[in-house]
Amino acid sequence: MPAKHARALRLWLGVLALLIVAMVLVGGATRLTDSGLSITEWQPIMGAVPPLSEADWQKAFEAYQKIPEYTELKRGMSLDQFKTIYWWEWAHRFLGRLIGIAFFVPFIGFWLLGYIPRTLLPRLIG
């Protein structure tokens, strides 16, 4: 494999490794702050944008107030407290999206350009 290809693959895989470390750290913080259920819907595309106005925040908080997490464990939580846990969950989901893009877009490009050795390909797709 040419050195140029090896450098590009090393950089790509190194960035992915750092993103995964960040995901583990943010995931741990999300868990430790009990933030994991603060976003009540999974919208892969539109959900990437957090609430942008006070009305959007209020709507998200009202949706959260309807789930058992709130009614049984966090009744009385303020909007500001909700925003704190929301940001942890949002960051965790954002990192998941980012890792997916950071893997698949370069993978397709490297594969089409022939940068990925045959011995590495099964490890990357399996």
The string of pLDDT tens digits covering residues 73-118 is: 889 999 999 999 999 999 999 999 999 999 999 999 999 999 999 9
Q: What pTM, to 2 d.p., does this model score?
A: 0.85
**In the chain, which ranges are E strands?**
none
Interval 29-40: pLDDT, tens: 999 998 878 888
Nearest CA among 82, 83, 54 for reference residue 70: 82
Residue extents of the structural domains in the chain: 11-125
Report the C-alpha gap between 90 and 35 in whole angstroms: 9
Arithmetic mean of pLDDT, 14-38: 93
Q: Could you read off the pLDDT of 45-82 as tens digits, one per residue? A: 777 899 999 999 999 999 999 999 899 888 999 999 99
